[in-house]
Structure 1
Amino acid sequence: MAERDSLRRQLQAGAQGLGVILNDSQTELLLDYLFEFAKWNRAYNLSAVRDTQQMLGRHLLDSLAVVPHIAGDRLIDVGTGGGLPGMVLAICYPEKSFTLLDSNGKKTRFLFHVKTLLGLANVTVENCRVETLQPPALFDGVISRAFASLADMTRWCRHLLADGGMFYAMKGQFPEAELEQISADYSLNQSFELNVPGEEGERHLLLLQPRSACPATATATQ
């Protein structure tokens, strides 16, 4: 109980530092998710991070950092692993629909378990390769966290994106070379430098759109 109280305070302070408002229910759901993640991690190897407090910063707060920048009603988290950032975003945005996709069956079993345990009706879990997914409706946003290069992400996931939709790529250092590789086909709509409380290292969120969908879009960096 003392550990949960300490983590709750750390989560609330971190979310506040990121400009993310969590109600009591969302805070408890995020903590429930964190403890299930830590428990299943011992057998399913969801993350190389083993310490729960480190998981809170490295995974929960890192995922919460993108919350202010997400738009659209239907989103898919490709290569979600243990649900990062998709499960966190689903808790923060109960009115939006999230599909969490991963080809690893152990990880998607964990995601089904968490979805059921936490009662997240806005989450759909897909266990397949992204190239094979044929969704009944296309997505307003495709998000990934350290899933692949920008070239691979845009190539493998383009068929999932609705007209006017956006790629949300979570990266470490600003990927100049990767952006150059896709510059003929994709426009950098916005770039956000993310400062995660208590975590070192660069983090960026890149918002990309197909040039065919936004020929007049100007690049903006914040």
Structure 2
Amino acid sequence: MSDALRVLPLPDGVETSPERSAEILGVGYDACRSFASLLLTHGEERGLIGPREIERLWTRHVLNSAAVLPSLPESGTVADVGSGAGLPGIVIAACRPDLEVHLIEPMDRRVQWLGSVAETLGLSNVSILRGQAQEFHDAWDFDAVTARAVAALDKLVRITWPLVRPGGCLVAMKGARAHQEVDAAAGVLRKARAGEVRVQEMDLLGDGDVTRIVTVPRRA
């Protein structure tokens, strides 16, 4: 069992727009604040986030992870591929306790981190699969697969598609080149017989910081 971590009070100024954040995160708000505290305390020393990310830890990482929530199924299972620090997987688990969330991560030190975070935050809906996504192709499938900063969309589809069950979807967090990635992946998407791809621009705080959510459905 992983060792629980100590959650320190979140320093003033880390969280942006508390009222709006609480509205976005819903039941997961308190757990996400605690997660932010853990990342602030341990993230840089464990190589989970870079030193330049500390100042925008809340907006760019924790709250930003909630951009995937509207694209997730009403119930079922979700796999977060290359979960790393737990973004967006831990945030999904905190905000959607009705979902079974599986965090797929190959690096042992990050697996240990994810286990400790889940234990510390009391996230009983989390399980951790150690390995590359490809290692689980013949063993698991999910209603949704999420990914953040894992690979370009064409490669990401090849990596994750066997994990998406018929009727499910791939939900990828992307930057400004999202539409170009969709165009570049046209051949792979055709071969996969994917449904209509949707690119949704999410500006959670209305401050112009836009995240593109690419949803790729798998036909039933």
- Work out whether the TM-score is over 0.5: yes
Pick from 83, 88, 92 the counterpart of residue 86 of structure 2. Answer: 83
Question: Relative to structure 1, is the Cα distance of residues 149 and 107 closer, same or farther in structure 2, using a 3 angstrom cutoff?
Answer: same
Distance 1:135 1:11, change over 3 A: farther
Partner of 2:135: 132
CA–CA separation in structure 2 for the residues paired with 1:151 and 1:93: 28
Residue type of the alignment partner of 2:122? G
- TM-score w.r.t. the length of structure 2 is 0.82
TM-score (ref. length: structure 1): 0.82
SS in 2 for 1:43: coil
1:1-222 alignment runs, 5 A limit: 3-4=10-11, 7=14, 10-16=17-23, 20=24, 22-23=26-27, 26-49=28-51, 52-71=54-73, 72-134=75-137, 137-183=140-186, 184-185=190-191, 186-197=194-205, 201-210=209-218, 213=219
Cα deviation digits, residues 139-174 of structure 1 (max 9, x gap)? 000110111011111101121111111010110014
The gaps in structure 1 that reach 5 residues or longer are 215-222
Distance between the aligned counterparts of 1:29 and 1:87, measured in 2?
Answer: 9
Listed one character per residue, the Cα deviations across residues 31-57 of structure 1 (whole Å, up to 9, x for unaligned) are 111111122213211011456552011
Structure 2: segments with no counterpart, 5+ residues:
1-7
Question: What number of residue pairs does the alignment pair up?
Answer: 207
Alpha-carbon distance between aligned partners in 1 of 2:57 and 2:21, rounded to the nearest angstrom: 13
Task: Give the aligned CA root-mean-square deviation in angstroms.
Answer: 2.5
Instruction: Measure, in 2, the Cα distance between the counterparts of 1:173 and 1:15.
Output: 26
Distance of 1:176 and 1:10 partners within structure 2 = 29
Structure 1's 95 and 2: CA in aligned 2 closer, same or farther, altered over 3 A?
A: closer
Q: Which amino acid aligns with 1:60?
A: V
